[in-house]
Amino acid sequence: MSEAVARARPTFVPRGEGWAGWMLCLPAVLSYLLLLLLPTLAAVLLAFTDYELGAPGLAWIGLGNFQELLDDRGFRISLRNTLIYVGIVAPVSIAGALALALLIEAATRGRALFRAVFFLPMVSLPVAMATAWQYLLHPTIGPLNAALAQLGIAGPAWLTSSDTVLLSLAFIGIWEAIGFNLVLFLAGLTAIPRELHQAAEVDGVKSAWERFRLVTWPLLGPTTLFVVTITMIRSVRVFDSVAVLTQGGPNRASEVLLYTMYTEGFTFFRLGYSAAITLVFLIIVLGLMLLQTRVLDKRVHYG
């Protein structure tokens, strides 16, 4: 009995509060079920069927789609390209943003201006900017190759040669991602107590490098971890630039996961197969999040 009393006391519920709580949540709950949970479950189930849009019926084929994925050279290329893309974009845009943030934070002059400049791609229509890049990187009329020609270098066909296309896309990806990471790093830097830097100086820290090692880097840990995870997740989702600039070409050299899923699903209407690709994509994203919360989180929080 005393147990019941003890449990009842802290959660004293005013009359009607339970009802009000559910009523206030109801629109969100209904739309959540209908627009998020149900379709997600359906997508998962779809991955185990041979459903094609317009086909009269569908059959449960178990792991058939995944079997096919393993044998599908196109998918393997797509997965590999995505990993390469993430492998380039994430490290470069993170390290670059960190360096930029330190440089911008080092003095007050021009801080707001530079922050705005590097942030600009975040708010620019990616499709439009992709077309701007297409012009910039155009093999014959593009300013980049024109400039290279002045130096006596024959520039490659950046976006239409299978040797350079992925690199060019990654470069555009870095350009897009760096501003966002920069803003996060700047927020992280301003959260470091100034007194810690000063204590370090009194303790005998003389060089910028030592200060970075002793104070900035460890205290930036949570921010860095977050930036690493979100940058990887965002770059796994690369779609716009591929859809606009290369459509996966030439010769599948720029085929990436989401674009493959899009073409399988909405060009060839093989929804079951496309759902299987989606599932692979989902597993990668979940894996990255798990890495953040389970493995790395413990190492950067000093609570």
- Could you say which residues in the range 240-269 bind another protein, by CB under 8 A? 240, 243-244, 258, 261-262, 265-266
Give residue 4's Cα distance to chain centre: 48
State whether residue 16 is helix, strand or coil. Answer: coil
List the x/- string, 6-45, binding to another protein by CB under 8 A: -----x-xx-xxxxxxxxxx-xxx-xx--xxxxxx-xx--
Query: Would you call 250 exposed, middle or buried from its count of C-beta atoms within 10 A (0-12, 13-18, 19+)?
Result: middle
Select the span of 64-72, 78-86, 154-162, 231-239 touching another protein (CB under 8 A).
Answer: 231-239
What is the length of the chain?
Answer: 303
Helices (H) and strands (E) in the chain, counts: 17, 0
List the x/- string, 47-76, binding to another protein by CB under 8 A: ------x-----------------------
Residue 118 near residue 105 (C-beta atoms within 8 A): no
Smallest separation (angstroms) from another protein to the CB of 7:
13
Q: Is 180 in the site for another protein (CB under 8 A)?
A: yes
Question: HSE on the CB side for 245, CA within 13 Å?
Answer: 34
Judged by beta carbon, residue 57 or residue 204, the one nearer another protein is 204
Q: Is 274 in the site for another protein (CB under 8 A)?
A: yes
Smallest separation (angstroms) from another protein to the CB of 148:
11
Binding residues among 183-212 for another protein as defined by CB under 8 A:
183-184, 186-187, 193-208, 210
DSSP assignments along 279-297, one per residue? HHHHHHHHHHHHIIIIIIH
Q: 143, 251, 268, 295: which one contacts another protein (CB under 8 A)?
A: 143
Q: 66, 114, 156, 252: which one contacts another protein (CB under 8 A)?
A: 114
Give residue 38's Cα distance to chain centre: 24
Q: 285, 291, 296, 297: which one contacts another protein (CB under 8 A)?
A: 285
Judged by beta carbon, residue 1 or residue 112, the one nearer another protein is 112
Judged by beta carbon, residue 218 or residue 249, the one nearer another protein is 218
Report which DSSP code applies to 151.
T
Give yes or no for a cis peptide into 91 (omega within 30° of 0). Answer: no
State whether residue 49 is helix, strand or coil. Answer: strand
Smallest separation (angstroms) from another protein to the CB of 74:
18
Residue 254 near residue 161 (C-beta atoms within 8 A): no
Q: 1, 107, 151, 154: which one contacts another protein (CB under 8 A)?
A: 107
Task: List the beta strands (DSSP E) in 19-158.
Answer: none
